[in-house]
């Protein structure tokens, strides 16, 4: 099982990946169907970075402001339920809608509380998105996070989502070749096996309470 230090390092990289990028301006006439997966990643990253630079409270680590930014700029472009379902495993299918919502809400809060400091560094980072070789309904988009001591390789798995604003949604992210949903699965599996979905919810809630007290 992945230890906490390794998991935190990986999640920190994910936070950087989601919160950094080079601005990309597209005409307002561009429709979702016109955006390829590469352009979608570039646009979302650029929009998020612009929003961070414009909000001093976000840069200062205000959890409520960060949560609002994540809800408005990140979540519409992520298939979070698919990610959580894969991470939790078979027990997800038996979970009630209320349990699923609690797991997603608590995990999102945990990520925001844990990596609020990453927003302070976003202005110094840029995301170089590499050309996509082939387009299909399931695409791998490779990129490099620049601005640190060395580039970090970040890959995105995107699914075609015609009903979404930009036509695509992210459902997995790899940091230096390690797919994050698989890492979450390793972390969640022993909790779910021994304590069920309610035990996972309780574990996430406890971690959030501990972070809130710091």
DSSP element (H, E) containing 102: helix 97-114
pTM reported for the whole predicted model: 0.78
Residue 87's domain comprises 4-213
pLDDT over 70 at 28, yes or no: no
Write the pLDDT tens digit of every residue in 93-114.
Answer: 999 999 999 999 999 888 888 7
CATH number, residue 44: 3.10.450.710
pLDDT-derived band at 210, boundaries 50, 70, 90:
very high
Residue tagged 């082939």 (tokens): 134
**Which of 169, 180, 185 lies closest to 79 in space, CA to CA?**
169
The residue among 199, 14, 184 whose CA lies nearest residue 87 is 184
Region 176-193: mean pLDDT is: 91
Residue 11 pLDDT level (bands cut at 50, 70, 90):
very low
Where is pLDDT greater, at 197 or 20? 197
Counting the structural domains of the chain, the total is: 1
* Runs of H (alpha helix) within 115-166: 118-121
């Amino acid at each position: 099982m992945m230890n906490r230090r390794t998991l935190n390092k990986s999640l920190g990289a994910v936070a950087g990946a989601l919160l950094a990028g080079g601005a990309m301006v597209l005409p307002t006439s561009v429709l979702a169907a016109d955006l390829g997966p590469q352009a979608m990643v570039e646009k979302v990253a650029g929009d998020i970075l612009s929003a961070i630079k414009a909000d001093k409270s976000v840069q200062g680590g205000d959890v409520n402001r960060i949560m609002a930014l994540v809800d408005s700029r990140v979540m519409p472009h992520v298939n979070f339920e698919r990610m959580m379902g894969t991470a939790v495993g078979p027990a997800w299918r038996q979970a009630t809608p209320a349990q699923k919502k609690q797991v997603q809400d608590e995990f999102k809060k945990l990520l925001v509380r844990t990596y609020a400091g990453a927003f302070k560094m976003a202005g110094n980072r840029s995301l170089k998105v590499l050309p996509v070789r082939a387009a299909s309904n399931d695409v791998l988009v490779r990129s490099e996070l620049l601005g640190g001591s060395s580039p970090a390789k970040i890959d995105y798995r995107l699914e075609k989502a015609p009903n979404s604003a930009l036509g695509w949604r992210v459902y997995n992210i790899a940091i230096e070749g390690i797919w994050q949903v698989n890492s979450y699965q390793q972390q969640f599996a022993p909790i779910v096996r021994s304590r069920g979905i309610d035990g996972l919810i309780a574990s996430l809630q406890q971690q959030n309470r501990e972070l809130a007290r710091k």
